[in-house]
Amino acid sequence: MNFIFKLFMGLQVALYRLTGGRVGGSMGGMHLLILTTTGRKSGKTHVNPVAYFERDGGYLIVASNAGRDSHPGWYFNLTAHPDITVQVKDKQLPVHAETVTGEKRAAYWKYIVQTSPNFANYEKNTKREIPLVFLSQFK
Protein backbone atom coordinates (compact mmCIF):
# COMPACT_ATOMS: atom_id res chain seq x y z
CA MET A 1 0.00 0.00 0.00
CA ASN A 2 1.51 3.32 -0.92
CA PHE A 3 2.49 5.92 1.65
CA ILE A 4 -0.09 8.56 0.66
CA PHE A 5 -2.96 6.04 0.83
CA LYS A 6 -1.81 4.79 4.25
CA LEU A 7 -1.56 8.37 5.47
CA PHE A 8 -5.06 9.21 4.22
CA MET A 9 -6.56 6.07 5.81
CA GLY A 10 -4.81 6.76 9.11
CA LEU A 11 -6.09 10.32 9.13
CA GLN A 12 -9.62 9.20 8.31
CA VAL A 13 -9.61 6.61 11.12
CA ALA A 14 -8.22 9.15 13.60
CA LEU A 15 -10.85 11.77 12.71
CA TYR A 16 -13.63 9.18 12.83
CA ARG A 17 -12.59 8.04 16.29
CA LEU A 18 -12.02 11.56 17.59
CA THR A 19 -15.44 12.81 16.42
CA GLY A 20 -17.53 9.67 16.88
CA GLY A 21 -17.94 9.33 13.13
CA ARG A 22 -19.17 12.89 12.52
CA VAL A 23 -16.00 13.48 10.47
CA GLY A 24 -14.88 10.61 8.27
CA GLY A 25 -18.09 8.67 8.86
CA SER A 26 -19.22 8.72 5.25
CA MET A 27 -17.72 8.63 1.80
CA GLY A 28 -19.45 8.78 -1.55
CA GLY A 29 -22.84 8.79 0.15
CA MET A 30 -22.12 5.58 2.09
CA HIS A 31 -21.84 5.23 5.85
CA LEU A 32 -18.53 3.93 7.17
CA LEU A 33 -17.59 1.91 10.22
CA ILE A 34 -14.14 1.21 11.58
CA LEU A 35 -13.26 -2.47 11.33
CA THR A 36 -10.59 -3.73 13.75
CA THR A 37 -9.15 -7.12 12.81
CA THR A 38 -6.25 -9.32 13.86
CA GLY A 39 -3.79 -10.23 11.11
CA ARG A 40 -4.08 -13.89 10.19
CA LYS A 41 -0.30 -14.19 9.72
CA SER A 42 1.16 -11.35 11.76
CA GLY A 43 -1.24 -11.33 14.72
CA LYS A 44 -1.10 -7.52 14.58
CA THR A 45 -4.13 -5.27 14.90
CA HIS A 46 -5.38 -3.68 11.68
CA VAL A 47 -8.02 -0.95 11.30
CA ASN A 48 -9.93 -0.14 8.13
CA PRO A 49 -12.82 2.19 7.35
CA VAL A 50 -15.42 0.09 5.52
CA ALA A 51 -18.81 0.95 4.05
CA TYR A 52 -21.69 -0.74 5.82
CA PHE A 53 -25.39 -1.38 5.42
CA GLU A 54 -27.68 -1.96 8.41
CA ARG A 55 -29.66 -5.15 7.79
CA ASP A 56 -31.47 -7.71 9.91
CA GLY A 57 -30.17 -6.39 13.23
CA GLY A 58 -26.52 -6.30 12.18
CA TYR A 59 -24.14 -4.76 9.69
CA LEU A 60 -23.41 -5.95 6.19
CA ILE A 61 -20.02 -5.15 4.66
CA VAL A 62 -18.71 -5.82 1.16
CA ALA A 63 -15.24 -7.24 0.44
CA SER A 64 -15.14 -5.57 -2.97
CA ASN A 65 -11.55 -4.31 -2.92
CA ALA A 66 -12.78 -1.78 -5.51
CA GLY A 67 -13.27 -4.56 -8.07
CA ARG A 68 -9.73 -5.91 -7.96
CA ASP A 69 -9.20 -9.61 -8.62
CA SER A 70 -8.24 -10.38 -5.02
CA HIS A 71 -10.10 -10.07 -1.76
CA PRO A 72 -9.05 -7.22 0.55
CA GLY A 73 -6.62 -8.18 3.31
CA TRP A 74 -9.19 -7.47 6.00
CA TYR A 75 -11.44 -10.20 4.56
CA PHE A 76 -8.75 -12.85 5.04
CA ASN A 77 -8.21 -11.59 8.59
CA LEU A 78 -11.95 -11.89 9.29
CA THR A 79 -12.13 -15.44 8.03
CA ALA A 80 -9.22 -16.41 10.28
CA HIS A 81 -10.43 -14.43 13.33
CA PRO A 82 -14.20 -13.74 13.00
CA ASP A 83 -14.75 -12.28 16.48
CA ILE A 84 -13.77 -8.66 16.16
CA THR A 85 -14.60 -5.11 17.20
CA VAL A 86 -16.16 -2.40 15.07
CA GLN A 87 -16.79 1.25 15.76
CA VAL A 88 -20.10 2.50 14.39
CA LYS A 89 -20.28 6.23 14.93
CA ASP A 90 -19.45 6.69 18.63
CA LYS A 91 -20.06 3.06 19.69
CA GLN A 92 -17.46 0.29 20.01
CA LEU A 93 -19.18 -3.06 19.43
CA PRO A 94 -17.95 -6.65 19.65
CA VAL A 95 -19.26 -8.56 16.61
CA HIS A 96 -19.02 -11.93 14.92
CA ALA A 97 -18.28 -11.94 11.18
CA GLU A 98 -19.79 -14.52 8.85
CA THR A 99 -19.58 -14.70 5.06
CA VAL A 100 -23.05 -14.75 3.53
CA THR A 101 -23.76 -17.32 0.81
CA GLY A 102 -26.55 -18.69 -1.36
CA GLU A 103 -29.98 -17.10 -1.63
CA LYS A 104 -29.35 -14.78 1.29
CA ARG A 105 -26.24 -13.42 -0.43
CA ALA A 106 -28.21 -12.93 -3.66
CA ALA A 107 -30.90 -10.95 -1.83
CA TYR A 108 -28.35 -8.83 0.04
CA TRP A 109 -26.37 -8.21 -3.16
CA LYS A 110 -29.50 -7.00 -4.94
CA TYR A 111 -30.17 -4.56 -2.09
CA ILE A 112 -26.56 -3.34 -2.09
CA VAL A 113 -26.38 -2.59 -5.82
CA GLN A 114 -29.76 -0.83 -5.68
CA THR A 115 -28.54 1.28 -2.76
CA SER A 116 -24.97 1.85 -4.00
CA PRO A 117 -24.57 1.17 -7.74
CA ASN A 118 -20.76 1.48 -7.49
CA PHE A 119 -20.71 -2.10 -6.25
CA ALA A 120 -22.27 -3.32 -9.51
CA ASN A 121 -19.34 -1.73 -11.36
CA TYR A 122 -16.88 -3.47 -9.05
CA GLU A 123 -18.57 -6.78 -9.82
CA LYS A 124 -18.14 -6.17 -13.55
CA ASN A 125 -14.40 -5.51 -13.08
CA THR A 126 -13.57 -8.84 -11.43
CA LYS A 127 -13.98 -12.55 -12.11
CA ARG A 128 -14.41 -13.41 -8.42
CA GLU A 129 -17.64 -13.43 -6.47
CA ILE A 130 -17.41 -10.47 -4.13
CA PRO A 131 -17.88 -11.70 -0.56
CA LEU A 132 -20.56 -10.19 1.65
CA VAL A 133 -19.92 -10.36 5.37
CA PHE A 134 -22.61 -10.08 8.02
CA LEU A 135 -21.50 -8.65 11.37
CA SER A 136 -23.79 -9.71 14.21
CA GLN A 137 -23.48 -8.17 17.65
CA PHE A 138 -22.75 -10.31 20.65
CA LYS A 139 -25.64 -10.30 23.06
Q: How confident is the model at residue 139 (pLDDT cuts 50, 70, 90)?
A: low
Per-residue pLDDT tens for 56-100?
A: 999 999 999 988 999 999 999 999 999 999 999 999 999 999 999
Paired sense of beta strands 58-62 and 132-137, if any: antiparallel
Q: What class is the 3-137 domain? A: mainly beta
Phi, psi for 101 (deg, rounded to 5):
-130, 175
Confidence at 1, pLDDT banded by 50, 70, 90: low
Cβ(74)–Cβ(48) below 8 Å: yes
* Domain map (residue ranges) of the chain: 3-137
pTM greater than 0.85 (yes/no): yes
